[in-house]
Structure 1
Amino acid sequence: MRVDEITAKLRRAGSVFAEDEAAIFLEAAQTPAELASMIERRVAGEAPEHVVGWAEFCGVRVVVAPGVFIPRQRTVALVEQAVALCRTGSVVVDMCCGSGALGRVIAERVPGVTLHAADVEPLAVACARENLAGLGNVSEGDLVDALPAQLHGRIDVMVANVPYVPHDKLRLMPAEAREQEPEITHDGGSDGLDVYRRLVSAASDWLAPGGSILSEISDEQTDAALAALASANLRARTEYDDERETTVVIGTRPTQQTS
């Protein structure tokens, strides 16, 4: 089957990036039968990343199994802010790690970091263990409860792509995300920051003096997120990425406790 034929079929099914997806399927398929299966799965509404089994993120291909959150390109801004805070020897945690994509990129861009990752979803943990093999340790559990005790007070950078969609806005998300990714990876509660507040409150003591926690949020959540960091006695700031229209909120533990 030619690329133009595949493109036309995908476009009729409603694919916005039909030509790009056709090229990906042609590259990934080993046989005509496998190619036909990929096309049919996509036409049926399955995400192209789940169809081929990987997603490209920051120039790295990460394994993404069906039912696992697909890393978004806007999250590149979060990774870049985290990388800027890392040094060789930094203790780094990829919290709510999903496939482990963020931790994978950080470890490749800053060789010599000590990487840990954690997620509550078993499918995500399995993916992350594959993506982070030889690069870091992956634990299953709820937020900081999943972390090894020896990390308490020693984390230099915690990058946390927490769910931040307000519950009543979940229905407005694209069908692919609603139907093929766990709701827990999107649902941030009434204002979208329930998980974020829980994490910030619990994680502040896990940071080393001068250590930071970074998360991606929406613009309208900025004030509430900054207030949550202040309540956890963290110095709070935001960084905005114009190109990706992404807001990153950063909380840093003071190097000395104030009285």
Structure 2
Amino acid sequence: MSKNVIRSITAIAVLFCLVWLVGLGWAVGEYYAGNKEKVPERSTATNEVKNTKGLTIVALGDSLTRGTGDETGKGYVGILMDEIKEKTKRPVQLTNLGINGQRSDQLRKQVQEKEVGRQIEKADLVLVTIGGNDLFRGGQGLNDYGTGDISTIEKKYLENLKVIFEQIRRNNPTANVFFIGLYNPFIDLDQGKEMSKVVRHWNYDSAEISAAFPKIIFVPTFDLFELKVNDYLYSDKFHPNSKGYRLIAERVASLLTW
């Protein structure tokens, strides 16, 4: 066979091959054009999806819930809210129902109010501070801590606390409830050591009440103030200052599951 014949056959074969490839490319293009909607697109934003569901907090109790003594005005509730926002990147709605000077019998009445119950019902998280005004009574507790009167006062306090928790659970069976324990602001006074025994006793009994309810967590604070109480108190020597409130907020935050 001559070289010219071989070259002609080769050329024809290459030509047919090119025609076949062009036809294949056209057919594939037509297929994807006609089935464009059926081809799933790969998502490039999978790792960018965030949980945007908001968190609702209801704060109940006395002046510690209001943040009295905090130079920044936030109190432990505001500091904790900032911490939650930072950690979860979720919007937080706060309803602060704390009342300066409130005692347990007054909080007992408050949680039974219809509107307060409605707020608790919506809450994902409930914060409670109560008991300091029952025990200390503007300093009067320092005078009768060794008498039978203090036992009578504690008994009424624990009864009120039980009703408060029952009402919270009646309105909202599932929200986490953090009950902040008492500290002793008078520990450096002459009667301070004896008062500390009373405070620890109240904390123990109220923690037992808390433990009887599902998802009500007692948060101890006594140890936070015990060694350097004056470093963490406001000028009135009773309420925490901004550092003291931060200690409480950090203690609560350490118990949260993000």
Q: Same fold (TM over 0.5)?
A: no
Identify the TM-score tier after normalising by the shorter chain.
Answer: 0.3 to 0.5
With the length of structure 2 as denominator, give the TM-score of the two structures. 0.38
Larger Rg: 2
More strand by share: 1
More helix by share: 2
With the length of structure 1 as denominator, give the TM-score of the two structures. 0.38
